[in-house]
Structure 1
Amino acid sequence: MKPSVFYQFLGAHSLLIGLFPFYLPVYLWGLGFNLQAISVLIGISGATFCLSLKLWQTIARHQSAALLVALTFGLECLLVIAVFLLTEVLKSQYIIAIACLLGIANGLYNAFFWTTQRTLFLALLGSNDSGRQFGNFQIFVTLFLKFGIVLGGLLLEQGGLLWIIGLSTVLNLSLWIWFKRTLDSTRLSNVDSCTFAQGFTFKDNRGSALSFRIDGIFLFLESHFWTLTLFILVKSDYAALGLVVVALAAVFALLFFLIKNTIDLYPTQQIYLLAVALYVLSWVLRYSIDTSESVLESNWLGIQLIVITFCTSFFRLAFNKRFFDHAKSGTGVHYLLAKSIVSQAYLSAFFLALALYVGGFAIDGVAALQASYLLAAVVAILFAFYQPTVQPARGQS
């Protein structure tokens, strides 16, 4: 696939994710879903993602890239429609059942989109430009994602989910037609297989297995849980949430632009360890936030959010550079699939266990959110054990 086509695919999905999947946890929260139900949704989503990888591998090896791309758009549309139908048809006492069904729809979409996207991105990488490429990738995603978030927030605040369904359906159908014509019978050329057994037994001397186990959990803490906290800080206003996220993204994009072209030039391990330290700090800051305040009224809270955004984004740049360096120099797509299998299985177990704990002890949702950030600050230290592709000689950095 040509780089231009990949970025068209990436931009299209970034826009669609911003329109609604970004808002999924806060939309359900606004309907009365508690943290237990949100955790069930995440857990079932992870399990479905893991189980769907076998189907993804079969399609990727034997069918055209056009079919894979079409499925990503179809599954995104299915997710939005499923949210509307399930929350309108079933009553509030069935929130756990709804969370399970939505988890299946969300897991299917995530499996096909993210695995396809990572496979295509891996094929674009050069020999030593993963930091620059991922920086470009992040800035590009940010522009389209944040536009979608602003538009999605305004539509949810003014017109409700029906507006989102209408726009998403039109966009998904139009994009499917466009990519069907663009891709024709092109196939992915770099697809390796990875069984569940190979994924769970994957091991190298770089600490990959440990990072696989914890990274998926952190990704959902960053997205679903942190988005819930931001929603609370804007007093449950969708439009305000969208604007706050975009304002933070503007700062993030500026800082990323300044560092993305230089990250490949500095000592890899020093940059990475600094990123891990900043990531730990970001979780400490999340834990310290007073959720009774409003981000629209507190300058200090705004500064905290900017620091959190930068620390998290810098870590993600450094971590993903290391991850794609390992994939590029090693087993390629097999490495990506092993990571997905392990990450999704562990995040599924973690969030389902959290759902049982929160529900069993009737713990307040907001308090549980804050407590999870403190736990994350401690566990994030383990990312320091993820070693570079070529480990430095003793005495060197």
Structure 2
Amino acid sequence: MPLFIAVILWDKGLSISDIALFIALTATGFVFALYYWDRLRAQHDWAKLISLSFILQSLFVVSLLWGDHTLITTVGALINGAAGCFYWSTQRLLFQAITEDKNTGNTFGNFQILVVFALKSGVLIGSYLLGMEYFISLLLLSFMLSLLGFLLVYKSLISNTQLAKLKQVPAFTLKQVIKFQDQHHSSLIFVVDGLFLFLESYFWLLTIYMLTQESVMQLGLILIALSILLALIFFVIKKYIDRVDTQKIYRIAVLGYAFSWLIRGFLDTEMDSLFIYSGLLLAAFLSNFFRLAFNKRFYDIARQDKPTRYIICKSYYSQFMLVVFFSVIAVLTMTTDTAVHQLQVIYYLCTPLVLVYFLYGKRAKSVAL
């Protein structure tokens, strides 16, 4: 269900401006939840950390089921942010714990393949239910799976002794987060990266939906086809990326990522279907190749010093700037222009920001620790 949030919001009558505001409030909920998450992490309360992600996701589904426009874009958005915080922050922390030196590209590639096949079944079921207008059925299914996940995870974590052995540093103060700075321009990258992640997961998915004449079934089939192809690509390159000149691969990936946003801005509903699908495939490949290269660099840099602080600072910086970025987008899109054109303009305006990624990993001249 999370994959279809943007589509669900659009079909419920929200405009691009409304969805941008929803994202800004989602980021706000993430930031507040992160403060609490960090303290549970320091206490090794893994059962509560992981279980809360399921519980909060269930509450968000309830808001979609019975909430009106205002409730969804306020309370629902805040809950959605909190759910995302507990899921993604915990996932990043545990991923960092299982990776070893020089294998982050391979490990992340394996993780991507697993996610691709796990999502494929979810996308197929979700698109079918939405396509058949079984909106309530989809949300109830998501609600039940969240509760089931909570019961299974909570039971398994109570008796798990491996997680208890993970060493955790004390919770961080906001002052420590604000003063974060390193030799790799990380704070600048954190500021930009959140914007592109949410543009992809919300606006780009909504663009694909519009390009397919707002057919949820067609959207689902496209996403599945892309997932299968990308899984095959990751299977081939996941080991290779750890062996070659990482700087060269990274630079190529950044250029490809910038080109992918130009493609997104160029695609239009008036184009031939073959041209649209070719553009979707190329944009998906370039984006996922960049994510593989970027995440390898992210986890390699994180493990060099204080990985927990690094991961937490990344979330704080990214989410805070999401509030700023999408609040501005919400204001700028309060026009009568078509949604497709509004999204195209956003993609073109954001493309130059991709070049900031070139700075990631370069040594800064002076560092204040």
Q: How does 1:1-397 map to 2 (within 5 A)?
A: 20-62=1-43, 64-86=45-67, 90=68, 95=69, 98-184=72-158, 186=161, 187=163, 189-192=166-169, 193-293=171-271, 298-359=273-334, 361-387=335-361
Aligned Cα RMSD in Å?
A: 1.9
Residue 33 of structure 1: how far off its partner (Å): 0.6
Does the 8 Å contact 1:132/1:261 carry over to 2?
Answer: yes
Aligned residues: 361
**How far did residue 388 of structure 1 move?**
6.1
TM-score of the two chains, using structure 1 as the length reference = 0.87
Closer, same or farther: CA 154–182 of 1 in aligned 2, 3 Å: same
Q: Within 1, Cα distance between the matches of 2:300 and 2:81?
A: 26
- Where do 5+ consecutive residues of structure 2 fail to align? 365-369
**Distance in 1 of aligned mates of 2:287 and 2:363:** 22
Q: Is 1:322–1:389's contact at 8 Å kept on the other side of the alignment? A: no
Q: 2:269 and 2:305 mapped to 1: Cα distance?
A: 44
For residues 191-242 of structure 1, the C-alpha deviation after alignment (integer angstroms, 9 at most, x for no partner) is 3333333223311111111100000000011110100100001111112111
Could you tell me which residue of structure 2 aligns to residue 14 of structure 1? none
2:367 equivalent in structure 1: none
Residues 75-110 of structure 1 show CA distances to partners (whole Å, capped at 9, x for unaligned) of 111111111111xxx3xxxx4553122210110111
CA contact (8 A) 1:57 1:191 kept: no
The CA distance in 2 between the partners of 1:204 and 1:67, in whole Å, is 32
Q: Deviations over 1:33-65 (max 9, x none)?
A: 100100000001111111111110122222531
Secondary structure of the residue that 1:128 maps to in structure 2?
A: coil
Does the Cα contact within 8 Å between 2:32 and 2:82 map onto a contact in 1?
no
CA contact (8 A) 1:196 1:341 kept: no
1:295-349 deviation digits (Å, cap 9, x = unpaired) = xx72222111111111000000000000011111211111000000000000111
TM-score (norm 2): 0.93
The amino acid across from 2:288 in the alignment is S
Aligned residues of 2:42 and 2:168 also touching (Cα < 8 A): yes
The residue number in structure 2 matching 1:394 is none
CA distance in 2, matches of 1:389, 1:156: 49
Taking the aligned partners of 1:254 and 1:388, their CA distance within structure 2 comes to 31
Deviation digits for residues 335-371 of structure 1 (CA, Å, limit 9, x no counterpart): 0000000000001111011112222x44432211001
Q: In structure 2, how many angstroms separate the alpha carbons of the residues matched to 1:111 and 1:137?
A: 19
Matched residues in 2 for 1:378 and 1:97: separation?
35
- Runs of 4+ in structure 1 deviating by more than 4 angstroms, as ranges, are 185-188
Q: Does structure 2 conserve the Cα–Cα contact (< 8 Å) formed by 1:206 and 1:388? A: yes
**In structure 2, distance between residues paired with 1:285 and 1:351:** 21
Bigger drift between 341-350 and 284-293 goes to 284-293
Letter of the structure 2 residue corresponding to residue 367 of structure 1: H
Contact (CA 8 Å) 1:326, 1:389: kept in 2 or not?
A: no
Cα offsets for 1:259-315 (capped at 9, x unmatched)? 01110101111010010000011001111112234xxx7222211111111100000
The answer to whether the Cα contact below 8 Å between 1:123 and 1:190 also exists between their aligned partners in 2 is no
How far apart are the structure 2 equivalents of 1:344 and 1:258?
Answer: 33
Which has the higher mean CA deviation after the structures are superposed, 182-191 or 279-288?
Answer: 182-191
Q: Is the 8 A contact 1:268 1:388 kept in 2?
A: no
